Copies of this chain bind each other. A is one copy, B any other.
Amino acid sequence: MPDDENNAAEDCQRSRCPVSCILEIVGDKWTLLVVRDIFFDNHTFKELQSSPEKIPTNILANRLKRLERSGLVRRELYQERPKRYAYYLTEKGLDLEPVMRSLMVWSNKYIPGTVKLEDILKE
């Protein structure tokens, strides 16, 4: 059976806890990286593949579908023949910025060797 056939994230809540609920949408090793990449101006499949973590293509395709279904990402046709889509964050997706920011702040404080938030922003 193909994955992610039906059900929105809202339909399969383990509880009504806000932490638990958002983790059902972005709680895995890859989803937030895709959001990060789109946030930093990568929009095509190719561009999204090229991030340093080397996301497998099947996982990338799957996460883009999920993100679209959850309403965090919107697809836009940027070329007819062959049809090619670019991926953009919706407002809902863009609003994950504070989440990513707090993750980066923590990482910078506790994981030596991580690229500093200031350096990312002033690039």
Binding site for B on A (CB under 8 A): 9-10, 13-24, 27-29, 32-33, 36, 51-54, 92, 95-96, 98-117
Contacts and interface: CB of A to CB of B under 8 A. Distances in A.
Given A29-B28, A53-B14, A110 B92 contact: yes
A18 B98 contact: no
Copy number in the complex reads 2
Given A20-B33, A32-B27, A98-B102, A52 B15 contact: yes
Instruction: Please list the 4 inter-chain residue pairs (A to B) with the smallest Cβ-Cβ separation, ordered nearest first.
Output: A18-B107, A15-B52, A18-B114, A18-B104
Nearest to A54: B14
The DSSP consensus for interface residues of chain A is helix
A30 to B, nearest CB: 8
A15 B105 CA distance: 16
A24 B32 contact: no
B112 A19 contact: no
Nearest to A39: B19
30 contacts: A9-B111, A10-B111, A10-B113, A13-B113, A15-B52, A15-B53, A16-B114, A16-B115, A17-B53, A17-B114, A18-B103, A18-B108, A18-B114, A18-B116, A18-B117, A19-B103, A19-B107, A20-B52, A21-B111, A22-B106, A23-B29, A23-B32, A27-B32, A28-B29, A92-B110, A95-B106, A95-B109, A98-B102, A98-B105, A99-B99
